[in-house]
């Protein structure tokens, strides 16, 4: 199907983009990589009166570390993350997630910020960045706020973003030098959305876990953080018993449903196995 009629705006500056959003409110949609929005428009699930294409705005494609914090601009593509030297080691959870997103065509165009704004519970960035304690910077004409990812995702395809707001950057705090993590994804075939995904991101201090992040993909109405599993690890040495206990708790916290990709029981079991595997890998890292 063809999309409904819409006005097309291609602002050259951020101010222009924000004032266009202001003007249209609920009737406008930002266009980044178009990998989620265009299919929705073709199916007429989204019929915006205006598209605000942000691809010509300079300065939004930076992926950098500043003062230990990672900054991911609104136009950073999945491909850029996949190839970035920055996203290894202590940000391994992000480096491992990037190449597992769909196929090269989607990764060439799709953006990290667009993925978060789309808020698909099957999205891989949502979990990887939740585990890493990320925040989004939301800007509107004359205002700016930071929202923790935990508060950003409200439900399936729903975020805390106001219609006049744009995600201009994603910020990931410094996890400290002794940090490691990974992203594990089960997919039916290469390029598919996750049947289950698990993100693990740990920081260590003197042989104990200083801070843990565990987040789950495709087993709930949004990307979920496994709080009970994290609490079982924080301040503790990462021994085999604790790893097994955290994996058991994460499986309990998952909210999977039976669907064509597998039964809820099967997915819960995959969560348990992946959390265990992810924690062991983080310990080695």
Ligand X SMILES: Cc1cc2nc3c(=O)[nH]c(=O)nc-3n(C[C@H](O)[C@H](O)[C@H](O)COP(=O)(O)OP(=O)(O)OC[C@H]3O[C@@H](n4cnc5c(N)ncnc54)[C@H](O)[C@@H]3O)c2cc1C
Q: Judged by CB, which is closer to ligand X: 213, or 243?
A: 213
In which region does residue 59 sit, left (phi positive, over 0), alpha (psi from -120 to 50) or beta (all else)? left
Interface residue with ligand X, options 18, 33, 80, 95 (CB under 6 A): 33
Q: Which two tokens stand for residue 39?
A: 């299919």
Nearest to 247 by CA among 193, 195, 205, 283: 283
Regarding 147 and contact with ligand X (CB under 6 A), the answer is no
Task: Give the phi and the psi of residue 195 in degrees, each rounded to 5.
Answer: -75, -45
Alpha carbons within 13 A on the beta-carbon side of 274: 29
For residue 68, the minimal CB distance to ligand X (Å) is 24
For residue 203, the minimal CB distance to ligand X (Å) is 25
Regarding 139 and contact with ligand X (CB under 6 A), the answer is no
Contact (Cβ atoms closer than 8 angstroms) between residue 198 and residue 50: no
Contact (Cβ atoms closer than 8 angstroms) between residue 111 and residue 76: yes
Regarding 278 and contact with ligand X (CB under 6 A), the answer is no
Regarding 11 and contact with ligand X (CB under 6 A), the answer is no
Q: Which range of residues in 6-14, 33-41, 218-226, 258-266 is near ligand X by CB under 6 A?
A: 33-41
Q: Judged by CB, which is closer to ligand X: 92, or 126?
A: 126
Regarding 21 and contact with ligand X (CB under 6 A), the answer is no
Regarding 123 and contact with ligand X (CB under 6 A), the answer is yes
Q: Judged by CB, which is closer to ligand X: 49, or 106?
A: 106
Residue 207: how many other CB atoms lie within 10 Å? 8
Interface residue with ligand X, options 9, 14, 20, 124 (CB under 6 A): 124
For residue 161, the minimal CB distance to ligand X (Å) is 6
d(CA 160, CA 9): 24
Residues 183-202 that bind ligand X (CB under 6 A): 193
Q: Which two tokens stand for residue 251?
A: 């499986």
Q: Judged by CB, which is closer to ligand X: 74, or 270?
A: 74
Nearest to 113 by CA among 122, 131, 121, 125: 125
Residues 47-106 that bind ligand X (CB under 6 A): 74, 101-102, 106
Nearest to 129 by CA among 233, 185, 229, 213: 213
Burial of 221: CB neighbours in 10 Å, binned 0-12, 13-18, 19+: middle
Regarding 262 and contact with ligand X (CB under 6 A), the answer is no
For residue 121, the minimal CB distance to ligand X (Å) is 10
d(CA 193, CA 218): 9
Regarding 121 and contact with ligand X (CB under 6 A), the answer is no
Interface residue with ligand X, options 14, 18, 29, 223 (CB under 6 A): 29
Interface residue with ligand X, options 30, 94, 184, 275 (CB under 6 A): 30
The residues that touch ligand X, with contacts defined as CB under 6 A, are: 29-37, 39, 74, 101-102, 106, 109-111, 113-115, 117-118, 123-125, 161, 166-167, 193
């Amino acid at each position: 199907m063809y999309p409904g009629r819409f006005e097309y705006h291609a602002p050259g500056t951020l101010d222009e983009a924000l004032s266009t959003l202001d003007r249209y409110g609920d009737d406008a949609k930002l266009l980044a990589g178009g990998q989620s929005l265009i299919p929705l428009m073709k199916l007429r699930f989204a019929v915006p009166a205006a598209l605000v294409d942000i691809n010509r705005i300079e300065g939004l494609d930076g992926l950098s570390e500043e003062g230990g914090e990672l900054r991911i601009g609104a136009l950073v593509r999945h491909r850029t993350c996949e190839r970035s030297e920055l996203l290894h080691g202590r940000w391994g959870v992000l480096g491992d997630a990037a190449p597992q997103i769909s196929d090269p065509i989607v990764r060439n165009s799709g953006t990290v910020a667009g993925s978060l704004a789309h808020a698909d519970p099957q999205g891989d960035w949502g979990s990887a960045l939740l585990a890493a304690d990320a925040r989004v910077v939301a800007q509107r004409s004359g205002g700016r706020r930071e929202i923790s990812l935990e508060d950003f995702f409200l439900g399936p395809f729903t975020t805390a973003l106001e219609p006049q707001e744009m995600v201009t950057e994603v910020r990931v705090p410094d996890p400290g030098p002794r940090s490691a993590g990974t992203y594990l994804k089960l997919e039916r075939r290469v390029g598919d959305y996750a049947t289950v995904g698990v993100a693990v991101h740990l920081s260590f201090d003197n042989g104990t876990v200083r801070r843990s992040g565990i987040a789950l993909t495709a087993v709930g109405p949004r990307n979920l953080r496994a709080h009970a599993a994290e609490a079982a690890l924080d301040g503790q040495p990462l021994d085999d018993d604790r790893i097994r206990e955290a994996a058991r708790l994460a499986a309990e916290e998952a909210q999977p449903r039976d669907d064509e990709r597998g039964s809820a029981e099967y997915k819960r079991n995959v969560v348990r196995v992946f959390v265990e595997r992810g924690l062991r890998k983080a310990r080695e890292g």
